[in-house]
Structure 1
């Protein structure tokens, strides 16, 4: 992972301002974080930063290819460093844990979409919802209704 954000930004004609650095550090530390999560982390160092600064900074950093976002549920998008975006997100509906899986795992699926529909997929925004191994095991212990996915 490259954390030479100063060089990355300079090559694109921008400076690494204190706010940009704090947002990048928060995204790096938190991995999959909403803008509100990022704001809380940034405010640990710079209490004067507001949510609009975080949103503007994230928008710019995404345009520059330094961060990427995914929709992992009904709430706000989550952000992570773009050099980590070659994965899909597996989201557990029970515990909300997010597992990163290599995008190659869905290569056959994306090839079928391309062949059947000429559709080019954007996997960096892709999330698959289901139940993680731990929650599946807990549900199996709880009985057949729970194991089948009933929230009961």
Structure 2
């Protein structure tokens, strides 16, 4: 998203585009999947004065605006990624910590069954499966 489009979106909500907000959105985009702490570290390389509280608040705002999404890939902080990407299921290796993505269609048997048996619609964009990757299985 361009700075101009982001500025317009923020203005509609009575907010302004600050350099910190722009840097945090850029960091999420550049890092792919990142915790607030990782975003903070990335942003501080460019602007030392940005604190972790600003990162958390900005990520919440950016999610409200539909610009980023989060998922939980561990017991710690949520992981953020750019919204608008194709929905995907996260595969998290407990061995090496790698994160890969698969098409949400792999979940169709489960999501279809939950819909038919429980009238429950799964938000596949927040699904994370934990296991061991092929490199770590030995």
Query: 1:18, CA displacement in angstroms?
Result: 0.8
Determine which of 4, 18, 32 is the counterpart of 2:2. 4
User: Distance in 2 between the 1:70 and 1:82 partners?
Assistant: 12
Which residue in 2 is equivalent to 1:23? 24
Greater alpha carbon shift after TM alignment, 107-116 vs 89-98: 107-116
What SS does the aligned partner of 2:84 have? helix
Distance 1:121 1:21, change over 3 A: same
What SS does the aligned partner of 1:27 have? helix
What SS does the aligned partner of 1:69 have? strand
User: Distance in 2 between the 1:60 and 1:21 partners?
Assistant: 12
Q: CA RMSD for the aligned pairs?
A: 1.5
What SS does the aligned partner of 2:4 have? helix
TM-score (norm: length of structure 1): 0.83
TM-score (norm: length of structure 2): 0.90
The answer to whether the 8 Å contact 1:6/1:15 transfers is no
Query: Which runs of structure 2 are paired with 1:1-152 in the superposition (5 Å)?
Result: 3-11=1-9, 13=12, 14-84=15-85, 86-136=87-137, 139=138
Tell me how many residue pairs correspond in the alignment. 135
Query: 1:128, CA displacement in angstroms?
Result: 0.2
Task: Find runs of 4+ consecutive structure 1 residues off by over 6 angstroms.
Answer: none
What SS does the aligned partner of 1:135 have? coil
Query: 1:4, CA displacement in angstroms?
Result: 2.4
Runs (5+) with no aligned partner, structure 2: none
Runs (5+) with no aligned partner, structure 1: 140-152
Which residue in 2 is equivalent to 1:150? none
User: Distance in 1 between the 2:121 and 2:84 partners?
Assistant: 20
Query: 1:111, CA displacement in angstroms?
Result: 1.1
The structure whose Rg is larger is: 1
